[in-house]
Amino acid sequence: MAALVRISSVCSRSFSPLLFRNASLIRPLAVQKKNLDQDHSYFLSAKIHMTPAYYAGSATKSASLHWTGERLVSVILLSMGPIAYFYPGPVMDFSLAAALTLHGHWGLGQVVTDYVHDESKVKLARAGLFILSTVTFAGLCYFNYHDVGICKAVALLWSK
């Protein structure tokens, strides 16, 4: 037997949830389960684990700064598009090479964090990611120095 609650029954008649106005969302609150060894029954319920403030150390500050850096690079990349279109040049080409490589490295690093689980596989994936990012940055710098550069290459693609 399970106890079920509808969101509309929790809310008063004058207030309706914004996202689930017409949907009846049903979630189990507690489930009764019988123990086979003993005759009595007991309830299983979900526990909410919260990290106390005294567990949060310098790693939290580091993660916060990393998140802020990722968002900053994303905003910079958005602003570099129009600037690169109106003012192409070597400084913009190398800035784009660095920002694109860093943005890709951080993004693929999150994919590795989310989807690679074995410790040896994580180390191998991170080493491969570092090599890929290094080769990408070196290739973009080589392209900027020995060829037309990123800005003019994109302009040539759009012109034809």
For the annotated binding site for heme b, the residues are 103
List binding-site positions: 103, 115
> Would you call 96 exposed, middle or buried from its count of C-beta atoms within 10 A (0-12, 13-18, 19+)?
buried
List binding-site positions for a ubiquinone: 115
Among candidate residues 76, 130, 126, the one with its CA nearest the CA of residue 100: 76
Among candidate residues 142, 112, 144, the one with its CA nearest the CA of residue 129: 112
What residues contact 40, with CB distance under 8 A and at least 6 apart? Answer: none
Backbone angles phi, psi at 34, to 5 degrees: -95, 135
